[in-house]
A and B are shown apart, each in its own frame.
Chain A
Amino acid sequence: MGNHSDGSPNHSGTVATAGQNVVEKFQDPGLPPHRLRLADTDPRAAKRAERQVAILFGISVVGTVIFLVSYFAIDLGQDSTIATIRTQNLLLGLGTAFAMLGIGTGIVHWAKALMPDHEVSEERHAIRTEEDRQAAVRIVEDIVEETGIKRRPLIRNTLLGAVALAPLPALAVFGDLGPRPDDKLAHTMWAPQDGKLKRLTRDPDGTPIKASDVTIGSAFHVIPEGLNELQEGKLSAKAKAVVLLMRLNPDDLTISKGRENWSYNGIVAYSKICTHVGCPVALYEQQTHHLLCPCHQSTFDLTKECKVVFGPASRPLPQLPIAVDAEGYLVATSDFKEPVGPSYWERDEHERLINS
């Protein structure tokens, strides 16, 4: 053992396989003898293969015709149905498939059956000669030497500093890709406007919900009043403000200190945006009182203020404090008391900001 060269001329000294050279090995018998194909010896077989190739090319022509006919003959006018589109798609696709497969299989069959199939052996040449290799190293060293960069650290260091800083403008020019986040993620549309509390309305039509409409066991997808009337940023506002409204038997709810006035007769409202990565928590399991996010299966227990009981979420869904106004409609008494949706670096700061 140890560092032996196994004697192969290809080696430049380092050894992978100590001991390999000790054992006698089988000799390479060389390329197997070439076997003739039927088409090489039998002219009739060759002729047959020729015809087969021609037929395959002919199939391709048929495919092209199918494509053109179905493109021009099938009209996608006003009275076209989904079935028309499906038929056309099928015919266009089959036409293309025949056109392409005909050419492809034809050529491959031609190559395999009729073109010379002698495997040939070619020498591999070294990627570069030993002479070139040494010259290349020397040239690079000479170039570096002639710049004098090693001898003049002042030049080197100032250059490094300049080059390191130069890309900063290239980063800075992307500064207007978007606005600063500031505390935008801390607020939603639910904050009362000019002292007026926002009503809970149905998603998507925006009709307000009466407390008496919410029976035990029912669930509503809720958006804030006025969302549909927004001219700008409707989806962005909706992405934070959507809420799930459910009514349970009040006895089933565990209510923590400070949240006594956040529900009404067992009616509770929670943010629909998952605290994991922000999918809508759209599934309500009425029997178990669980809310389930269909994207990553985070499960929240409604009776325990949406505590996480399973899945990748780490934080309960934020609760929206609700009450009933003079006309019996459900309203939000304030914005969420914490930022909704997935966590972010400044989230805790924002939560403190909201509650101060």
Chain B
Amino acid sequence: MSASSTAEVPFAPKTKVGRITDFVDERVGGSGILREFGRKVFPDHWSFMFGEVALYSFVILLMSGTFLTFFFDPSMAETHYSGSYTPLTNVEMSVAYSSSLNISFDIRGGLFFRQVHHWAALLFVASLGVHMLRVFFTGAFRKPREMNWVVGGVLLILAMAEGFTGYSLPDDLLSGNGLRIIDGVIKSIPVIGTYISFFLFGGEFPGTAIIGRLYVLHILLVPAMILLMIVIHLFMVVVHKHTQYPGPGRNDGNVVGYPLGPVYAAKAGGFFFIVFGVVALMAAMFTINPIWNYGPYDPSPVSAGTQPDWYIGFVDGALRLMPGVVNDFHFEYIIFGHVLTLNVLLPALVPAGIIFTVLFMYPWIERWITKDNREHHVLDRPRNAPTRTAIGVAGFTWYCVMWAAAGSDLIATHFHVALNDVTYWLRTLFFLGPIIAFMVAKRVALALQRKDREIALHGRETGRIVRLPHGEFIEVHAPLDDYKHYKLVGFESPVPLPAEPNEHGVVTPKEKRRAALSKWFFEDRVAPATPAELEAAHGHGHHEAIESGEEHKSLSH
């Protein structure tokens, strides 16, 4: 790098920016990194912004959370409130709750920061979820990104843990009842449940230790893990480069988009401020978690219509849907003198367990079924992978049924229907919903593919009705330009892959199962239009001649 050895003139930057860049580079040697990243190409699409929203919400959470820690005291010692919110004056409460009230009422901007923090937390988990849906439906989890999909799943779980621990900290009545439900679920765990409960709460529920412990998890351990996972996640994004949507000029061998500097960096950087601005707007105008209305935690009262934060809803809903007694069968029964609480254990663990197991394993399941070991950098349009799309919609529907069940009482009161009926319907939908959703989603995807094929072969409808000399009316179809056309035909439509013998010439039962799944996956398919078909479509009648004649006419106007 040094120019001292020869007589040639050393490189000297001419501008001020150049001199600063050179100064830093000569000392830390960042030029290689800058060459790699300064102009790195990022594909652009609105659906790629969900991950960004999640990242930016997390940054907002770190900033607002740090502010809150300066004023929050996680002690569960008893105190009598003496702050400026008069309805609670002299009420006995924990120091944690009292300091949360002080943040809300006696510290300038405290309420704003609390609301920013809570809204950003809700947005964080939501954008993570939507981002994962985008990744799933577009097939972005396929090789080489399977491991990054898993990291994303871990992030989702960590985000929910972070959210729940934070939700519990103010020690208000609502969150206290939430903790009590967690305690009840923990106690239902066979053999060790009672011990875990006592160890977590430092004795009997609620004890005096839990808030302090959750606080340490919430501000230290879990955020550190989230940060680590985000670093791994983004590192892998850099290694893989971003995926891109299919279209003309885009293939698995290239990446088309804007260079990082300046356009992409400006858009992404600007977007951070927009996310922050929107969160600030929500915090300014919409009250979230008004803890002063709930009062301090007390094991006796509870308010009707209690709801957890939205991301815990699906577990709470599953708890509500499970019947405790069916006919005369009690789901809580005694086995060898010990109690097995299936009416709590099953709904708390099984649906979440299934969702996350399938979520984590899905890339490998699909790879096994399709035997597709290629690298994919071009996304699938969801319609072009009908079975995968249907699986995703079925899972999402299942989740939503459970989530809706968490508000069964509010559904009943708002729509003036019987609470029991709401529960019965949701129980039915719990089983039937995913199946119906699967079938509908698959048919919709196939129908959209057929529509694409129709447009690719016959052009788009112009709405122009033309009367032919012999009296027939036709609608003129205009052909697409090459680029739009390619978007509709440039995809793969795999066919089922029959069972193949292994190296010993044997078709194993496992291979047969794979072949059966492959058939289920790919037997309903709409093939992309081919040039030969387009040729045939154009040659099939005189419409096309008229059509092109019309086109020429309109051009000559």
Give A contacts to B, CB under 8 Å: 1-3, 8, 10-12, 14-20, 23-26, 28-32, 71, 74, 76, 78, 80, 82, 85, 88-94, 96-108, 110-112, 115-117, 119-124, 127, 174, 177-181, 184-185, 203-204, 221, 223, 233-236, 238-240, 242, 272-273, 276-280, 282-283, 294-298, 308, 310-315, 341-349
Residue B372 at the chain A interface, CB threshold 8 Å: yes
Q: B489's closest neighbor in chain A, by CB?
A: A26
Task: Decide if B191 touches A345 in the complex (CB within 8 Å).
Answer: yes
State in angstroms the CA–CA spacing of A337 and B281 once bound together.
55
Q: B276's closest neighbor in chain A, by CB?
A: A100
- Residues of chain B contacted by A85 (CB below 8 angstroms): 104-105, 111
State in angstroms the CA–CA spacing of A307 and B116 once bound together.
45
Q: A126's closest neighbor in chain B, by CB?
A: B375
| The residue from B254, B372, B497 contacting A124, defined by CB atoms under 8 A apart | B254
Task: Decide if A16 touches B370 in the complex (CB within 8 Å).
Answer: yes
Residue B508 at the chain A interface, CB threshold 8 Å: no
| 7 closest Cβ pairs, A-B complex | A93-B284, A277-B184, A104-B273, A107-B270, A101-B277, A31-B249, A100-B277
Stretch at the interface among B157-165, B339-347, B465-473: B339-347
Residue B193 at the chain A interface, CB threshold 8 Å: yes
B499 vs chain A, min Cβ distance (A) = 11
| The residue from A120, A124, A127, A308 contacting B253, defined by CB atoms under 8 A apart | A124
Task: Decide if A104 touches B276 in the complex (CB within 8 Å).
Answer: yes
Stretch at the interface among B130-138, B148-156, B325-333, B440-448: B325-333
| The residue from A8, A29, A106 contacting B270, defined by CB atoms under 8 A apart | A106
State in angstroms the CA–CA spacing of A11 and B371 once bound together.
12
- Residues of chain A contacted by B267 (CB below 8 angstroms): 107-108, 111-112
Interface string of B236-264 (1 = CB under 8 A from A): 00011100000011011111111100110
**A76-B106, A85-B111 as given contacts; A297 in contact with B409, CB under 8 Å:** yes
- Residues of chain A contacted by B255 (CB below 8 angstroms): 121-124
27 contacts between A and B (CB under 8 A): A1-B498, A14-B373, A20-B492, A23-B527, A30-B248, A78-B84, A80-B84, A88-B108, A92-B109, A108-B274, A177-B202, A178-B207, A221-B301, A223-B300, A238-B300, A239-B206, A277-B185, A277-B344, A278-B184, A282-B304, A294-B303, A294-B304, A296-B320, A297-B409, A312-B344, A312-B347, A346-B194
**A10-B252, A276-B184 as given contacts; A235 in contact with B274, CB under 8 Å:** no
**A12-B373, A185-B204, A204-B298 as given contacts; A104 in contact with B270, CB under 8 Å:** yes
Task: Decide if A233 touches B204 in the complex (CB within 8 Å).
Answer: yes
Q: A184's closest neighbor in chain B, by CB?
A: B204
A26 vs chain B, min Cβ distance (A) = 5
Residue B352 at the chain A interface, CB threshold 8 Å: no
A-B contacts besides A96-B284, A344-B194, 12 pairs, CB < 8 Å: A14-B371, A23-B527, A25-B528, A26-B528, A89-B284, A94-B281, A107-B270, A180-B195, A295-B306, A310-B420, A311-B324, A313-B343
**A120-B256, A342-B341 as given contacts; A71 in contact with B263, CB under 8 Å:** no
Task: Decide if A89 touches B490 in the complex (CB within 8 Å).
Answer: no
Task: Decide if A71 touches B108 in the complex (CB within 8 Å).
Answer: yes
**A32-B248, A314-B330 as given contacts; A104 in contact with B409, CB under 8 Å:** no
B285 vs chain A, min Cβ distance (A) = 7
Task: Decide if A277 touches B144 in the complex (CB within 8 Å).
Answer: no
- Residues of chain A contacted by B408 (CB below 8 angstroms): 297
**A71-B108, A127-B239, A178-B203 as given contacts; A28 in contact with B330, CB under 8 Å:** no
Q: Interface size (B, Cβ < 8 Å)?
A: 136
- Residues of chain B contacted by A315 (CB below 8 angstroms): 324, 330, 332
| The residue from B240, B483, B490 contacting A32, defined by CB atoms under 8 A apart | B483
B61 vs chain A, min Cβ distance (A) = 15
B555 vs chain A, min Cβ distance (A) = 19
Q: B522's closest neighbor in chain A, by CB?
A: A17
- Residues of chain A contacted by B218 (CB below 8 angstroms): none
Residue B377 at the chain A interface, CB threshold 8 Å: yes
- Residues of chain B contacted by A296 (CB below 8 angstroms): 316, 319-320
- Residues of chain A contacted by B323 (CB below 8 angstroms): 311-312
- Residues of chain A contacted by B297 (CB below 8 angstroms): 235
| The residue from B44, B111, B177, B256 contacting A121, defined by CB atoms under 8 A apart | B256
Residue B33 at the chain A interface, CB threshold 8 Å: no
Task: Decide if A343 touches B187 in the complex (CB within 8 Å).
Answer: yes
- Residues of chain A contacted by B256 (CB below 8 angstroms): 31, 119-122
State in angstroms the CA–CA spacing of A116 and B485 once bound together.
27
- Residues of chain B contacted by A184 (CB below 8 angstroms): 203-204
State in angstroms the CA–CA spacing of A283 and B413 once bound together.
15
Interface string of B259-299 (1 = CB under 8 A from A): 10011001101111111111011011100000000000111
Task: Decide if B299 touches A343 in the complex (CB within 8 Å).
Answer: no
State in angstroms the CA–CA spacing of A348 and B305 once bound together.
32
State in angstroms the CA–CA spacing of A276 and B342 once bound together.
11
State in angstroms the CA–CA spacing of A145 and B374 once bound together.
31
Most buried by B among A26, A102, A116: A26
Task: Decide if B306 touches A294 in the complex (CB within 8 Å).
Answer: yes
Task: Decide if A238 touches B199 in the complex (CB within 8 Å).
Answer: no
Task: Decide if A235 touches B305 in the complex (CB within 8 Å).
Answer: no
**A85-B111, A124-B254, A124-B255 as given contacts; A239 in contact with B204, CB under 8 Å:** yes
- Residues of chain A contacted by B40 (CB below 8 angstroms): 122
**A181-B195, A294-B409 as given contacts; A236 in contact with B300, CB under 8 Å:** no
In chain B, residues 10-64, which have Cβ atoms closer than 8 Å to a Cβ of chain A? Answer: 40-41, 44
State in angstroms the CA–CA spacing of A243 and B444 once bound together.
55
- Residues of chain B contacted by A32 (CB below 8 angstroms): 248-249, 483
Residue B322 at the chain A interface, CB threshold 8 Å: yes
Residue B542 at the chain A interface, CB threshold 8 Å: no
Interface string of B180-200 (1 = CB under 8 A from A): 110111011111111101111
Q: A239's closest neighbor in chain B, by CB?
A: B299
Task: Decide if A100 touches B274 in the complex (CB within 8 Å).
Answer: yes
Interface string of B523-546 (1 = CB under 8 A from A): 000011111100000000000000
State in angstroms the CA–CA spacing of A149 and B195 once bound together.
40
Task: Decide if B500 touches A3 in the complex (CB within 8 Å).
Answer: yes
A64 vs chain B, min Cβ distance (A) = 12
Most buried by A among B181, B252, B492: B181
| The residue from B183, B201, B486 contacting A178, defined by CB atoms under 8 A apart | B201
**A105-B274, A115-B266 as given contacts; A20 in contact with B494, CB under 8 Å:** yes
Task: Decide if A28 touches B115 in the complex (CB within 8 Å).
Answer: no
Interface string of B411-448 (1 = CB under 8 A from A): 00000000110010000000000000000000000000
Task: Decide if A93 touches B319 in the complex (CB within 8 Å).
Answer: no
Most buried by A among B115, B241, B324, B370: B324
A55 vs chain B, min Cβ distance (A) = 15
